[in-house]
Structure 1
Amino acid sequence: MSNEASPHNQHLTRDCLDEWLGNFSEFKYYFLRHCQIMAKAVGYYFDFDESALKVAHDNWRSRCELWESEWVMSDSSGLSHLKMMAILLYQLATVDWVNDIYEYDPSADGIIFNGSDSEKAEARLDLNAGRGTYLAFHFTIHVINWFESVRDDRKDIFVFRMTPELFHDLMVYLLSPRREEMAIFLALKCLYARD
């Protein structure tokens, strides 16, 4: 299935980040929908703290404004999707927006985990340990991958280069109190470097 047709991508457009940045309700709908499908696929359901999620969104918007006004060249066309998503990931990792997770039977919704039983067991452990940061990281990667796959200035076909080891290392860093916004951006920039 192409990226354009996937049900997980139905709200992804070239303008979606600007729309989400300007409208908390739109962002919340797509973000939570994506995260709940991910959680349900591994047998979990979560409830969330809307006020914490709103704080993360407000901080995302203000940090994007700061980056654009202070740290990006004046002749640029604004923040790239990579910068915007790195800032969002940092903000979501700094607030406890997931209140709790619960066992869930994914067959009730017809949701199927796309992987082996051992991969599902590992994903359950990772989600349980990383909670909101784990879900936010996957959401960020999902959105960046979509943008990278539809670029019209790419010379080669997009290939996602994340390894399990790198995923683990980045999760440890994102859960660390020493995480930094710029470092998250640079890590993602390296992951998505292209010719």
Structure 2
Amino acid sequence: MKSAPFTLESGTLCYHGIDVDSNTGFESEEIYYDIGLGLKTDVSGQVIEGSAFNISNPGSEVFGTGTDGNGISNNLYNLLGDLAQQFEDDDLSNLDLYLGKIETIGEDITIDYVNVGQKTNFLDFLESRLKTNEYNAKSKQSRLEGIDEAEAILDFKTQETAYNAALAMGSKILQATLLDYMK
């Protein structure tokens, strides 16, 4: 079972064990999933980007990491904690910086939200396309292999009636035996 990526260690918020206010150690996480696009890898075993779907949306990118030039946290959780501490201490000197940072993080979260929506729309489109392809393949298979049962029964009955009529007509014509011809 996987553990949660964010943990609180000695009052410090960590992402996979790394302090979120540190500016290092946060690589972009990519988790690829084969959704029928033909998963391919390069010679080093890395997934080729267009052949699979990247399902990851790392929390480190959504909530932010590191600090800015003023020493203010880029992480929303820590930023709100620092802002609450400023209010408790009645220190409103850096309020504009904190509010500007919250606005910036809010815009970043909106962008991440749009990216999730884009991925959802792509998956919906792909699902629709795959369903259409499945329907078309089944229709083609049915036309090639299948039969219309009503038409097949009607054809069979017509041929059976013609066969029985030919047998009946033949038996009436050939009622004379071989001995009749020998006379």
Q: State the TM-score, normalizing by the size of structure 1.
A: 0.22
Larger radius of gyration: 2
